Amino acid sequence: MNRFFVSKDSFHGDKVILGKEQAHQIRSVLRMSAGGHIVILDNQSCEYDVVLTKIRHDEVVGEVTSRRQASGEPANAYRTKNRRTNMRI
């Protein structure tokens, strides 16, 4: 599921409003439509499941369907071994 970071002032009750740049990403790049699902992170340790309700050129509006504590990235998410040097990065 696609994840987007927003500030707390993007929330208006159970609605979240995403600005022009994120609207472009959702509408033109991901080609999502109303009814699609995304995850919103508020940069304050919470994540929200959101159903998109309106997709416009300059904004996207969604309705929060659930809220939970953000799980973060797995501890080994970026560990890999460079084959040439045999070093972990």
- pLDDT (average), residues 42-48: 89
Torsion region of 43: left, alpha or beta (phi above 0 gives left; psi -120 to 50 gives alpha):
left
Spell out the domains of the chain, with CATH numbers in brackets: 3-69 (2.40.240.20)
Per-residue pLDDT, 70: 84
Per-residue pLDDT, 1: 87
Helix (H, G, I), strand (E, B) or coil at 29: helix
CB-CB contact of 38 with 14 (8 Å): no
Q: What is the pTM of this model?
A: 0.77
Torsion region of 24: left, alpha or beta (phi above 0 gives left; psi -120 to 50 gives alpha):
alpha
- pLDDT (average), residues 40-66: 95
Per-residue pLDDT, 71: 76
